[in-house]
Amino acid sequence: MDILITVFIAPVVVAAIISAIVSRSNNNKTMSLKYITEERAAWRKEIKETVSMLYSGDYGKGDRPTLKELTTLLILNLNPLQEKENRLDLHIIKLLKAIESGNDNMENLEDLRDCVGILLKHDWERSKNETMSFFTRLPKKEYEKRTLREYYSE
């Protein structure tokens, strides 16, 4: 009789332990994904507001940040590493430095606006893709090619 009870209880205990481990792992992944998604949303919002202020020329008045503060904030939110995957970030940094040094003509401002739009779209698509299941998720190269366009490099 004792052997019969052991035969039935052992698999139940093992199944419960495995279930607890899988459940905890899924919960940790969900919480991490939620935190990262929220942080990215806040980052996108800050970038949009800062570039809008820079593009409109509405800076340095009253309690508004100066041009140097705006460009510094944007540069610090980009990836400065000289790697082929960072072509868009590096181009934006180059534009920001040109604008900061006085070359704030409409062509540079429009290029900045367009590049930041591509950057934000890319980050949005990456966030959406990360929330998809493993089976419906797009390969990284596919959504990067689609969103980064001429700034994509293989």
**pLDDT, tens only, 8-63:** 777 888 888 888 888 888 888 778 778 888 898 999 999 999 999 999 888 888 88
Is pLDDT above 90 for 110?
A: yes
User: For residue 2, what pLDDT band results from cuts at 50, 70 and 90?
Assistant: low
Is pLDDT above 80 for 4?
A: no
Task: Return the pLDDT at 121.
Answer: 92
User: For residue 84, what pLDDT band results from cuts at 50, 70 and 90?
Assistant: confident
CA distances from 21 to 18, 25, 127, 133, 140 (A): 5, 6, 26, 20, 29
Say which DSSP state 65 is in. Answer: P
Output 129 or 10, whichever has higher pLDDT.
129
Task: Return the pLDDT at 15.
Answer: 83
Is pLDDT above 80 for 105?
A: yes
How far is Cα 50 from Cα 74, in angstroms, rounded to an integer? 7
Task: Return the pLDDT at 1.
Answer: 59
